[in-house]
């Protein structure tokens, strides 16, 4: 039995799908059981637990062979990342009381850095607080999610792609959530001691220019990529619904990606390469068959 958090999301769902497809038992740790009906129909056991409820998490982790844990995403976090700190404290308390045979955590590229991470700071805190637990632990430092391109579908359909990644020809590590989930399942089925850090990348790196070309291929029309001027970022984020006072972490994360501060190649880290190409992910996002024309 493996406990899986975030099963109603993309990464947790991919973890559970991979485990179930291999005939393993899965316990879905969810806050709302109604959202997990499809997983129950597939044979998963349902454990209801708020991610900030240490007692409920402890019960959900009891009797498992391993745990997949992750933080809920907060794109506009409170000052000092209060939400993530609360969840991390609950996880630490639950895992310390339970001590499952192993734990795999969703982390991020750059999480080893002590500063300059913006939104990724939450994952640095996760590694810092949970890496010292006396259980075999593995932190999956995933690259930029290909599924982040969901934000761009509407404008791409209109022929424009506004990129916050600069310069436009700079390639960055991108990986599909399906590959992250498959990797997490692989690791959960392994045996090891101590703490592991695993960089999870896609089959190749993509630049904003590559992303526009891939969108062009999938949509069957020319998509032009435009570098969003830095001075417009905050205004754009506010227009998307973010409180202006909470935009700074997102800006700092993007600046660090663009400066090369956030990257793979950390000494001592393992490396896993996924197989899912960017056009395959975009095809799912736009809901149309993939074009057979040029690909990046």
pLDDT tens, residue by residue, 217-251? 999 999 999 999 999 999 999 999 999 999 999 99
Structure tokens at 188: 């959960």
Give the global pTM. Answer: 0.94
Nearest one of 98, 109, 107, 100 to 129, comparing CA atoms: 107
Question: CA triplet 58, 64, 67: central angle to 5 degrees?
Answer: 70
- Sequence-distant (6+) residues with CB within 8 A of 186 are 18
- Residues 6 or more apart in contact with residue 172 via CB below 8 angstroms: 143, 144, 165, 205, 206, 207, 257
Nearest alpha-carbon partner for 104 in 37, 19, 169: 19
Q: Which of 205, 173, 238, 181 is nearest to 13 (CA)?
A: 181
Residue 288, pLDDT score: 54
pLDDT at 183: 98
What is the domain partition of the chain in residue ranges?
2-144+176-202+263-275
pLDDT of 291 reads 41
pLDDT of residue 289: 45
Burial of 48 by CB count in 10 Å (0-12 exposed, 13-18 middle, 19+ buried)? middle
The total number of residues shown for the chain amounts to: 296
Checking if the pLDDT of 294 tops 80, the result is no
| Pairing mode, strands 160-163 and 224-227 | parallel
CA distances from 182 to 73, 201, 212, 237, 274 (A): 20, 12, 27, 32, 9
For residues 178-202, give the mean pLDDT.
98
Mean pLDDT of 4-11: 95
Q: What pLDDT score does 135 carry?
A: 97
Q: Looking at residue 7, what DSSP letter applies? A: T
Report DSSP letters for 134-193, one per residue.
SS-EEEEEE-EEGGGGGGGHHHHHTTEEEESSSSTT--EEEE-HHHHHHHHHHHHTS---
DSSP 87-106: HHHHHHHHHHHH--S-EEEE
Q: What is the pLDDT of residues 155-189, one digit of tens each?
A: 999 999 999 999 999 999 999 999 999 999 999 99
| Strand ranges in the chain using DSSP code E only, listed in sequence order | 2-5, 26-30, 45-48, 66-69, 103-108, 137-142, 144-145, 160-163, 172-175, 195-201, 205-206, 224-227, 270-273
Instruction: Give the closest residue to 11 by CA, choosing from 181, 172, 206, 263.
Output: 181
Q: Which fold has domain 2-144+176-202+263-275?
A: Rossmann fold (3.40.50)
What distance in Å separates the CA atoms of residue 131 and residue 123, rounded to the nearest whole number? Answer: 11
Average pLDDT value over all residues in the chain: 95
Q: What's the whole-number mean pLDDT along residues 117-137?
A: 97
Q: What is d(CA 50, CA 202) in angstroms, rounded to the nearest whole number? A: 32
Give the per-residue pLDDT at 143.
Answer: 98
């Amino acid at each position: 039995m493996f406990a899986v958090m975030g099963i109603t999301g993309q990464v947790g769902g991919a973890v559970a799908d991979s485990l179930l497809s291999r005939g393993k038992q899965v316990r879905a740790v969810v806050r709302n059981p109604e959202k997990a009906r499809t997983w129950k129909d597939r044979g998963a056991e349902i454990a209801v637990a708020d991610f900030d409820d240490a007692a409920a998490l402890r019960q959900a982790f009891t009797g498992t062979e391993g745990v997949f844990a992750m933080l809920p995403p907060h794109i506009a976090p409170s000052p000092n990342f209060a939400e993530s700190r609360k969840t991390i404290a609950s996880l630490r308390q639950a895992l310390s009381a339970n001590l499952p045979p192993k734990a795999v955590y969703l982390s991020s590229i750059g999480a080893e850095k002590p500063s300059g991470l913006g939104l990724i700071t939450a994952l640095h805190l996760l590694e810092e607080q949970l890496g010292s637990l006396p259980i075999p632990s593995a932190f999956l430092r995933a690259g930029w999610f290909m599924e982040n391109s969901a934000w761009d579908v509407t404008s791409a359909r209109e022929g424009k792609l506004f990129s916050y990644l600069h310069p436009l020809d700079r390639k960055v590590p991108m990986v599909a959530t399906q590959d992250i989930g498959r990797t997490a399942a692989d690791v959960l089925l392994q045996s090891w001691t101590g703490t592991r850090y695993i960089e999870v990348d896609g089959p190749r790196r993509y630049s904003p220019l590559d992303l526009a070309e891939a969108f062009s291929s999938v949509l069957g029309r020319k998509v032009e990529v435009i570098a969003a001027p830095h001075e417009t970022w905050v205004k754009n984020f506010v227009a998307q619904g973010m409180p202006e006072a909470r935009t700074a972490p997102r800006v700092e994360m993007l600046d660090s990606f663009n400066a090369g501060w956030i990257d793979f190649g950390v000494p001592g880290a393992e490396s896993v390469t996924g197989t899912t190409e960017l056009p395959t992910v975009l095809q799912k996002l736009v809901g149309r068959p993939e074009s057979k024309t040029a690909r990046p």
